[in-house]
Amino acid sequence: MIQKCLSPRVLTLGALLAAISVPSPSVAHAARSVVHGSAPVGQSAHSQTTLATSAAPTSPAAIVTGPSEVVYDYATSACASDDVPDLPVRGLRSPSGQVSLMMPNWTNRELTGPSFDDLSHPCSVTSASAYNADPSAFADRQWVASPYTTDGTHLFALVHDEYQGSTHPGECPSGVYQQCWYNALTLATSSNGGATWSAPAGRLVAAVPYKYVPDGGPEGYMEPSNIVRSPTDRYYYATFLAMAEGAQARGTCVMRTSNLADPTSWRAWNGRSFSVSFIDPYTSTASPATHVCQPLPYADVGEMTQSLTYSTFFNKFMLVGESQAPGPDGALVSGVYFSLSSDMVHWTTRQLLLPTQFPWDYTCPAASALSYPSIIDPSSSSPTFQTVGQTAYLYLTRFNYLGCDMTWDRDLVRYPVTFTH
């Protein structure tokens, strides 16, 4: 059963941390969180978010209407020490009406039940990582991150694939996780409603057009959003975070496809059209400069990628994610923000949904920090809950700290949210 709890304490933010000191094995998440803590090179966070304070009084807004509820309690429900939601959770509905919350991790599990108010946590693994030591295989640690289905039984999903050179002998001279961190997006499929997932041959969806370089990280494309089908052009859309490397600029990129079964069919936005095809840097000799995406304007969406839905209340796409923007006094406010778009490439300036601190700007002695936002409307008719009405829930992973150190103790919580014009 879901348990009521007090909202996490919101603290005044200090300077962003250049690094987070955490006990092993939490280093991986800490490094991944730091990625969101700074603006692209050459652009300050303040200069890029000034527009966030200029919204008209009639701008779309979101209101958190109640305290947080515990959906998954690590202390009482964890099946293993690393059994935590390590990317935003995703909702699924089966043909029988059963629902589940996918908990992406390199060992993927889920919560299931008759409704999102009544979930249990079986310990069965839906997808395990291959831990392949060859970076060209794109099959090291794999988070099943972004499912899509029309019938609730046959599913496609984008996978956040991390090559962690620091875990493979001879592949990381420094031994530092973040410096040997090479990311890509791949495809997974399921024919049993997401109970188990498999990786088809030729599964590479999107990779930066450069080979892995030991101690050259972080590199690549990472943390895909939900897959959402447009009600107008019928393409399937997703966002992801691109790291800066070579011709690739850092930021939130958009891609689309008309065929989820074909991982090579995705095309990214280049600033003018959806015409960027992705290449395998280990097999292609094509010029890298023509196979990189153009990030969305930082002033609008920051580096938000975590949750993409279609709002039937606003009749627009909605992007929700972690970011910062100046508050009324000009000081940066860290929190969950949202932005709207009619076409996936032109977005409103992000608006604050929930002020909070994240692992990448955690300040001691706070007991917790939040991360991985995901918007889910239980009343959506979509099997993957790709639509959101006026009311929904904001799901977040709550990191519980012990003596100011990050631990594996991480709960899943949710907040009720109402959107207004």
Structure tokens at 225: 């959003």
C-alpha R_g of the chain = 20
Q: What is the pLDDT, as a whole number, of residue 6?
A: 32
**Which of the residue ranges 198-202, 237-241, 243-247, 282-286 would you say has the lowest mean pLDDT?**
198-202
Within 8 A by CB and 6+ apart from 374, the residues are 88, 89, 90, 306, 307, 320, 394, 395, 396
**SS3 state of residue 101:** strand
Contact by Cβ (8 Å): 194, 124? no
Domain of residue 266 covers 3-420
Q: Which two tokens stand for residue 12?
A: 């005044």
Token reading at 8: 């996490």
Q: Is 147 exposed, middle or buried (0-12, 13-18, 19+ CB in 10 A)?
A: buried
**Residue 57 scores a pLDDT above 50:** no
Strand, coil or helix: 292: coil
- Looking at the predicted structure, is the pLDDT value of residue 5 above 90? no
Q: How confident is the model at residue 58 (pLDDT cuts 50, 70, 90)?
A: low
How far is Cα 380 from Cα 393, in angstroms, rounded to an integer? 12
Contacts of 47 (CB under 8 A, 6+ apart): none
pLDDT of residue 279: 98
Is 190's pLDDT higher than 90?
A: yes
Report the alpha-carbon distance of residue 332 to residue 319 in Å, rounded: 20
Residue 327's CB is within 10 A of a number of other CB atoms, namely 16
Closest CA to 35 of 305, 299, 394: 305
Determine the 3-state secondary structure of 118 from DSSP. strand
* Matching residue, tokens 């494309």: 221
Note the pLDDT of residue 343. Answer: 98
pTM for this entry: 0.89
Q: SS3 for 166?
A: helix
Arithmetic mean of pLDDT, 294-311: 97
How many percent of the chain have pLDDT more than 70?
Answer: 86
98 pLDDT band, cuts 50/70/90, is very high
Residue 3 has pLDDT above 70, yes or no: no
pLDDT category at 36 given cuts 50, 70, 90 is low
- Beta-strand relationship, 307-311 and 387-388: parallel
Q: What's the pLDDT score for residue 35?
A: 60
pLDDT of 31 > 60? The answer is no
pLDDT value at 45 more than 60:
no
Report the pLDDT value the prediction gives residue 90, as an integer from 0 to 100: 98
Tokens of 275: 């015409």
pLDDT exceeds 90 at position 4? no
Classify strands 127-128 and 90-93 as parallel, antiparallel or unpaired: unpaired
pLDDT of the residue at 59? 85
pLDDT band of 18, cuts 50, 70, 90 = very low
**Interstrand relation of 267-269 and 274-277 (parallel, antiparallel or unpaired):** antiparallel
Q: What does each C-alpha distance from 266 to 189, 279, 289, 312 come to in angstroms?
A: 16, 11, 17, 25
- Distance between CA atoms of 264 and 291, rounded to whole angstroms? 13
Whether the CB-CB separation of 165 and 171 falls below 8 Å is answered with yes
Comparing 46 with 115, the larger pLDDT belongs to 115
DSSP characters for 10-41? P----SPPSS----TTTHHHHHHHHGGGSPST
pLDDT category at 51 given cuts 50, 70, 90 is: very low
What percent of the residues of the chain are helix, what percent strand, and what percent coil, each to the nearest 5? 10, 40, 50
The predicted structure's pLDDT at residue 9: 27
96 contacts: CB under 8 Å, gap ≥ 6: none
406 contact partners, CB below 8 Å, separation of at least 6: 20, 22, 23, 26, 29, 30, 359, 362, 399
β-pairing, 141-148 vs 405-420, is unpaired
Over the range 392-406, which residues count as b (16 or more CB within 10 Å of their CB) and which as e? Answer: bbbbbbbbbbeeeeb
User: How sure is the predictor about 67, in pLDDT bands with cuts at 50, 70 and 90?
Assistant: very high
Compute the distance between CA of residue 142 and CA of residue 108 in angstroms, rounded to an integer. Answer: 9
Prior bond of 231 cis (ω within 30°): no
pLDDT greater than 60 at residue 318: yes
Does residue 14 surpass a pLDDT of 80?
no
Query: How many independent structural domains does the chain possess?
Result: 1
pLDDT for res 40: 52
CATH code, 133 = 2.115.10.20
Max Cα separation, the chain? 57
Q: Quick check: 183 pLDDT over 50?
A: yes
Higher per-residue confidence, 201 vs 246? 246
Strand partners, 371: 397
Does the pLDDT of residue 339 top 70, yes or no? yes
Mean residue pLDDT across the chain:
89
